[in-house]
Structures are given as structure tokens and as C-alpha cells.
């Protein structure tokens, strides 16, 4: 069982130098939660997943020139909740990860709330 991820959650990338925020659109509003809750399809770069400072991989490839860590996530978060659904998709939990096609792994560092558990 993990914590339900909601609007305002913080993410990190293994190749980024700073945390980024998770944006959950208001279409994912659920009863009992004052902010929208995320599902595994909330993986769209620059819509749901914000940049992570400088990308270590791209900066290295650019001979040390600082290069923004803009997420390149094409696949949904995994794994999602096994039973809890948000907008007809598995709910996003704080143990879910998402792969960046540049080479990093995006994870949830703070769920945005600490009281709602999902499975």
C-alpha cells in the first residue's frame, strides 16, 4: 500500500539536479480529496511532469554546457495502485516510477499529502 499522489506532489529524476513538481489537472477531482488526485496516465512532459534543473546526461553530451532536464516520458507511471482507480485508470502511488527516454528514472519524492493510502 502506498500514499495517493495528488496535485502539488514533488518528483525527482535520477539524472536531474533539482526536484520538479507534478501537475494534476482538475479532471481528476475525487470525493474526499481537496485537490486533484493523479493516475498512471499523468505522465505528460511539461503538462504533468515539470523540469528537473539541469540534466546530467545531456550536459555531459554537450561537453559540460548546462542543458535543461526536460522530462521525456512516453510510457505511463508504473506500477499504479492495484485496486484504486482515478478517472478509469490506476491511481498513482508514491512508489510509482516513470522512465525518461534520455536515460533517467522519475520517481515521487513527496506525494503531496500524507493521510490517504491506496492499494
Task: Kindly report the pTM of this predicted structure.
Answer: 0.92
Distance between CA 64 and CA 96 in Å, rounded? 31
Distance between CA 70 and CA 23 in Å, rounded? 15
pLDDT tens by residue, 55-77? 999 999 999 999 999 999 999 99
Q: Where in the sequence is the domain holding 17, given as residue range(s)?
A: 1-119
Mean pLDDT of 28-54: 90
Q: Are strands 105-110 and 97-99 parallel, antiparallel or unpaired?
A: antiparallel
The candidate with the shortest Cα–Cα distance to 56, out of 84, 24, 14, 23, is 14
CA 28 from chain centre, in angstroms, equals: 15
Report the run of H or E that residue 60 belongs to, with start and end.
helix 56-61
SS3 content of the chain, % helix, strand, coil (to 5): 10, 35, 60
pLDDT tens by residue, 103-114? 999 999 999 998
Residues sharing a CB contact under 8 Å with residue 118, sequence separation 6 or more, in sequence order: 1, 2, 3, 4, 81, 83, 84, 91, 93
pLDDT at 16 over 90: yes
Domain count, the chain: 1
Query: What is the average pLDDT score of the chain?
Result: 94
The confidence score (pLDDT) of residue 29 equals 75
The confidence score (pLDDT) of residue 5 equals 96
CATH assignment of the domain containing 81: 2.60.200
Amino acid at each position: 500500500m502506498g500514499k495517493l499522489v495528488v496535485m502539488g506532489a514533488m518528483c525527482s529524476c535520477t539524472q536531474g539536479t533539482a526536484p520538479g513538481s507534478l501537475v494534476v489537472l482538475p479532471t481528476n477531482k475525487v470525493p474526499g480529496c481537496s485537490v486533484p488526485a493523479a493516475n498512471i496516465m499523468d505522465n505528460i512532459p511539461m503538462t504533468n511532469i515539470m523540469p528537473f534543473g539541469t540534466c546530467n546526461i545531456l550536459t555531459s553530451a554537450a561537453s559540460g554546457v548546462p542543458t535543461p532536464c526536460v522530462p521525456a516520458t512516453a510510457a505511463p507511471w508504473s506500477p499504479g495502485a492495484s485496486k484504486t482507480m482515478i478517472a478509469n485508470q490506476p491511481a498513482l502511488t508514491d512508489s510509482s516510477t516513470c522512465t525518461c527516454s534520455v536515460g533517467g528514472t522519475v520517481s515521487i519524492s513527496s506525494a503531496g499529502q500524507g493521510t490517504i493510502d491506496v492499494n
